[in-house]
């Protein structure tokens, strides 16, 4: 650089080149980002190479060389490396992880007309509603009848994840359960229990409110009940950040392990808001699609005909464990959690920032935490919920971080249709949207999508983003439209964003000892 000036502001000004008029062309920097270009007359140019701006005082400062930026490094300490040793879920496709992912690969939609309550007068009459759910073998009959579905889903998904990690009741009894924690959050909590309690109060008076009204309504009860059921005495609480909840839980759970506070964390999200209160509330927010004639084609991420998201429900839970502990007990390692990040848009309760700054910074921070470069990422499981503003805001943020997207595939999981065609492609970067097939699981969405991301890693197949008839012209990343693709995932990120401007990104990769 030719010269530098210090002002009373927090920015730095660098002379980029001498102008033809004898002045200096300046770039003002905020951090490392050029924010303003200025032309300064030659009168302000001093031969010693320093320039004064209009600031009240100007003092000389010494230009220091920036330290060399080293390549990102992944965690190598087995006590701090986090691996996934078990997965469990409850979804519109049932409770089995392999069945769930096979349905996604086939492009099957789990979105149907609502029959849990009379939705005939609602402007939205469909959802990703779970049917024929069974908790047999996991919850006793009395509790099963009392519990809100939100907690039923949590208990089954959590127990199935523990079983998948070879941590059944008999094994857990032999372990130090004070070193095993539970962190399963919910965006809405026990909404049916809450609605029923309010209805009893209004119609019959407070004496008719069930004593389970408060316990089964509050959002922390999923983690509490799962711990009570399994005797896990480690870190235990819940996080509620709307649709970003599950990713927040993964991020926090990993940090408990890295700080040495736990060896294993049972983490994820759960939700059961497909009821009159939940559907009616989101209709009032003008957030839901109203494509009642074609519910299976309603969720259409990045399609020009999208008109809102499809509400869903379920639970997705991971067993996160330090590599050291997993190795000692001979656990089967499914994939590795490399890192994550959380940020806030600080912009609006429901609308995303148009510049995507909150999301792009969250992606960047997650890669820094994971110790990977943007060039290593070749799969994005996007949050894209099929909303007019949200889909493009997320895409723009992704493009800010990943300059070359030719090797990336990006998809969405929250919609649905049946597309049996098979397409095989070479190595590329894929972005998939899960919401398109299962509905938007709100607080559970990140849990279900993390499982989908990990299955993409282990199977080498990424599921399609369905209902893409007319892709937005601005979207230039391969969104795996309508048919699955063969894709070897190097590093995957999974995005989840929630009302309030909550942003979260988690990073997974194939496990390499």
Order the strands of the 24-30 sheet from edge to edge.
4-5, 12-18, 24-30, 33-40
**243 annotated active-site:** yes
Q: Catalytic: which of 296, 325, 383, 502?
A: 383
- Among residues 256, 440, 487, 502, which one is catalytic? 440
Task: Supply φ then ψ for residue 259, to 5 degrees.
Answer: -85, 0
Residue 223 tokens, joined: 């983690």
Other residues' Cβ atoms within 10 Å of the Cβ of residue 289: 25
**What are the CA-CA distances from residue 87 to residues 28, 122, 156, 159, 334 (Å)?**
49, 36, 11, 10, 9
Please enumerate in sequence order all residues whose Cβ is within 8 A of that of 206, keeping only pairs 6 or more positions apart, or say none: none
347 among known catalytic residues: no
Q: How far apart are CA 186 and CA 242, in angstroms?
A: 7
Strand blocks (E) in 345-462: 379-381, 409-413, 430-434, 461-462
Residue 235 to residue 256: CA distance in whole angstroms: 8
Burial of 417 (0-12, 13-18, 19+ CB in 10 A): buried
Catalytic residue among 150, 154, 243, 419: 243
CB 345 within 8 A of CB 501: yes
- DSSP readout, 153-198? HHHHHHHHHHHHTT--HHHHTTS-GGGEEEEEE-SS-SHHHHHHHH
3-state secondary structure of 488: coil
User: Catalytic residue positions?
Assistant: 243, 383, 440
């Amino acid at each position: 650089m030719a010269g530098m000036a210090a002002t009373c502001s927090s920015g730095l000004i660098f002379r980029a080149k001498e102008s033809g008029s004898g002045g200096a062309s300046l770039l003002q920097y905020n951090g490392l980002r050029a924010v303003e270009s200025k032309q300064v007359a030659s009168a302000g140019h001093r031969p010693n190479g320093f320039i004064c701006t209009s600031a009240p005082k100007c003092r000389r400062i010494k230009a220091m060389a920036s330290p060399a930026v080293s390549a990102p490094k992944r965690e190598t300490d087995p006590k701090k490396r986090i691996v996934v040793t078990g997965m469990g879920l409850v979804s519109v496709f049932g409770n089995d992880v392999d069945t769930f992912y096979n349905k996604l690969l086939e492009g099957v939609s789990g979105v149907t007309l609502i029959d849990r309550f009379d939705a005939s007068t609602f402007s939205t009459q469909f959802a990703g509603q779970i049917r024929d759910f069974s908790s047999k073998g996991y919850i006793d009959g009395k509790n099963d009848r009392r519990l809100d579905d939100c907690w039923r889903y949590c208990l089954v998904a959590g127990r199935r994840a523990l079983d998948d990690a070879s941590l059944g009741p008999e094994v857990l009894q032999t372990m130090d359960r004070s070193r095993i924690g539970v962190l399963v959050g919910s965006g809405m909590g026990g909404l049916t229990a809450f609605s029923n309690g309010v209805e009893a109060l209004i119609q019959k008076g407070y004496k008719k409110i069930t004593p389970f009204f408060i316990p089964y309504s509050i959002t922390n009860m999923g983690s509490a009940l799962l711990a009570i059921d399994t005797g896990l005495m480690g870190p235990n609480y819940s996080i509620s950040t709307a649709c970003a909840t599950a990713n927040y839980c993964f991020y926090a759970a990993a940090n408990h392990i890295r700080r040495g506070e736990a060896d294993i964390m049972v983490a994820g999200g759960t939700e059961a808001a497909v009821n009159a209160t939940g559907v009616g509330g989101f209709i009032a927010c003008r957030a839901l699609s109203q494509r009642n004639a074609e519910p299976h084609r309603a969720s259409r991420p990045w399609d020009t005909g999208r008109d809102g998201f499809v509400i869903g429900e379920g639970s997705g839970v991971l067993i996160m464990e330090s590599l050291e502990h997993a190795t000692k007990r001979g656990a089967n390692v499914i994939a590795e959690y490399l890192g994550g990040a959380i940020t806030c848009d600080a912009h609006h309760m429901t609308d995303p920032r148009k510049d995507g700054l909150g999301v792009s910074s969250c992606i960047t921070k997650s890669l820094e935490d994971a110790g990977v470069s943007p060039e290593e990422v070749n799969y994005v499981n996007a949050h894209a919920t099929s909303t007019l503003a949200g889909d493009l805001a997320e895409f723009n943020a992704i493009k800010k971080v990943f300059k070359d997207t030719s090797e990336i595939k990006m998809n969405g999981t929250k919609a649905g249709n049946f597309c049996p065609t098979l397409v095989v492609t070479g190595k590329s970067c894929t972005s998939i949207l899960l919401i398109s097939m299962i509905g938007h699981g709100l607080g559970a969405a990140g849990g279900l999508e993390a499982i989908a991301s990990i299955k993409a890693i282990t199977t080498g197949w990424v599921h399609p983003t369905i209902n893409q008839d007319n892709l937005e012209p601005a979207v230039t990343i391969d969104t795996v439209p309508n048919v699955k693709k063969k894709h070897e995932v190097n590093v995957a990120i999974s995005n989840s964003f929630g009302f309030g401007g909550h942003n979260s990104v988690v990073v997974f990769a194939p496990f390499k000892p």
